[in-house]
Amino acid sequence: MSSSLYIHHLRSAYRSGQLTPTSLVEELLERSARYTDHAIWITPPQREHLLMCTRELEGQDMEGLPLYGVPFAIKDNMDLVDVPTTCACPDFAYTPKNSAMVVQKLIDAGAIAMGKTNLDQFATGLNGTRSPYGACRNAFAPDYISGGSSAGSAVAVALGLASFSLGTDTAGSGRVPAAFNNLVGLKPTCGLLSTSGVVPACRSLDSVSIFALSAQDAQRVFAAALGEDTSDPYSRTTQPHGFDFGRAPRFRFGVPAAKDLNFFGDDQYGRLFEASVTRLESLGGERVELDFAPFLETARLLYGGPWVAERYHAIRSFINTYPDALFPVTRDITLGGAKPLAADAFAALYRLQELKRKCDYIWQQVDCVLTPTAGTIFTRAQLLAEPVARNTDLGYYTNFMNLLDYAAVAVPAGFRVDGLPFGVTLFAQAHQDVPLLHLAERWQLTDSVPNGAVETMPPPVEIVPAAVPSGQVRVAVVGAHLSGLPLNHQITSRGGRLISDTSTASCYRLYALTDGKRPGLIRVAHGGKAIGCEVWEMSAAAFGSFVNGIPAPLGIGTVELFDGSHVNGFICEGVGITNAVDITDFKGWRAYLRSIQG
């Protein structure tokens, strides 16, 4: 048996009785034993404990557990009850009495914690080589780096040892390993997933990340892990995500200007990125070229500025007492955080605010941005020869993300001729995680290239409920608010977006009101026709002010569309059609206007 680890496939197999959590764990234990030379685990799967967990799980109702029997791996800088947390530093290790909040939420949802994974020591690095437990090997080519710091978490999923895994992402650690191992890597909006029970790297910037086989699976895990945590001072309440560009037929995406793209001599990655831009255009995206210089300067602040002092502060007592317990490169980077002055920190904060103002300007032009996840991939030998320089190269497209408070998702985007994966990252403003995941899902469903690892088929088409509401309201307009007509500005000035040019159900009649400027839409029991309309979308706050300005006899009610769906829409009081002209046969306001103008 070779079980598919997509969550939807697992749930189907469990329901049918073809699979049980116990039989799956037995299979994964056998599979894990084949990869002992990949340095994936710090605390590997423990058979007796796992079988005890699966027997307990099998006594529960799976329908109430959204992640029933789904195996996952945990980066070893977050707590799992009664299992040592090492941060890849044996002298630092401690055994927690409770699991990290995000880990516990997933277990409570029915997921099975398989073990703790290897990482760049104290989550310092993007390469996966900085660990006394061994350099984690790439899932596709062992001589190449796996990416880090969430190295083992990514490789565990890529090699079919878990359905998903948890990492952390401060500088790109939830995205670079995803790209190098052909996975989806969600870096959520900072604060949406609790960091209680997670050893901090840069506490003000850390984000718990999710590695998964599909964007759909990442969304399932994200929904289960969400929740404000009052014990985490950086925890945030989820906010409506706004316009769902991920499911819109048309959207705008930014790409770095050619002068700002850097592939470090890797022409194949360059060609794959060009193909990715074309692919996103094929999904309805309109490309907008951006000046990426402010983003790149922001990225340099992370390690070139005083934020490294946060890394020092996180383990200050330990490193000052046991400096030789750390990898030399990790120790040197971290101790560098003892040097900046408080004045340096304020200067950098001021500069960051200036840069963020410049970077945020792009959201007036685009809905999301597409970049390579990394400009190239290195062999382990190349990385170890110049560990700081090559690691800096890996963060070229990632280091700015949390400083600017953006959400991001890395997705697979093809392979070099030598079989090594290439990936791209989609990012957007904070709280737009769901639209990003929706767009990533569409991206994957157009992917005809097998990923070459354990799974070779795209995920099933299935609607997964959004983890966060949109906060948007849709409204059907039939008259002067239509595109290009005199009152359309009342919608566009409120940030409204056209969703569709459609028609109502065949149960309405349309009248030209006596002022000659407005139509009145009336629902009737008999003799109705379909009336042309447009459906627009705007935020709930904007919708409120829009409705407040609608004069009688018009108002907002519920309008049925031709496909049977219902939206808010313009309707007319019955008294309003007294002496009005019935224009139903024109089937729309535009046709009526053409008749009286022509």
Active site (annotated) includes residue 75 = yes
Cβ distance 68 to 159 under 8 Å? no
- 437: helix, strand or coil: helix
Active site (annotated) includes residue 187 = no
Taking CA atoms, 115 is separated from 22, 78, 219, 272, 319, in Å, by 16, 11, 22, 35, 27
Among residues 3, 75, 187, 196, the one annotated as catalytic is: 75
Closest CA to 532 of 513, 512, 510: 510
Among residues 3, 149, 153, 214, the one annotated as catalytic is: 149
In eight-state DSSP terms, residue 127 is S
| 339 Cβ contact partners less than 8 Å away, ≥ 6 residues apart | none
Residue 487: other Cβ atoms inside 10 A: 14
Among residues 173, 196, 207, 503, the one annotated as catalytic is: 173
Element (H, E) at 414: strand 406-415
Long-range own/partner contacts, residues 579-584 (CB < 8 A, 24 or more apart): 579/514, 580/511, 580/512, 580/513, 580/514, 580/520, 581/511, 581/512, 582/509, 582/510, 582/511, 583/510, 583/511, 583/512, 583/519, 584/508, 584/509, 584/510, 584/511, 584/528, 584/529, 584/531
Taking CA atoms, 176 is separated from 179, 382, 446, 526, in Å, by 5, 17, 22, 61
Query: Residue 468, Cα to own-chain centre: how many angstroms?
Result: 12
Cβ distance 421 to 373 under 8 Å? no
Query: Phi, psi at residue 5, to the nearest 5°?
Result: -100, 5
Active site (annotated) includes residue 16 = no
- Stated length of the chain: 598
Cβ distance 162 to 211 under 8 Å? no
Helix then strand count (H, E) for the chain reads: 19, 19
Q: Where are the beta strands (DSSP E) in 37-188?
A: 41-43, 71-75, 112-117, 164-169, 184-187
Residue 209: other Cβ atoms inside 10 A: 30
Burial bucket for residue 575 (CB in 10 Å: 0-12, 13-18, 19+): exposed
How many Cα atoms sit within 13 Å of 199 on the Cβ side?
A: 29
The 3-class secondary structure across 143-176, one letter per residue, is CEECCCCCHHHHHHHHCCCCCEEEEEECCCCCCH
Report the distance separating Cα 69 and Cα 62, nearest Å: 8
Amino acid at 29: L
Query: Phi, psi at residue 115, to the nearest 5°?
Result: 170, -175
In eight-state DSSP terms, residue 400 is T
Residue 38 in tokens: 């990949």
For tokens 């039989």, the residue is 23
Report the distance separating Cα 193 and Cα 195, nearest Å: 7
Which residues are known catalytic residues? 75, 149, 173
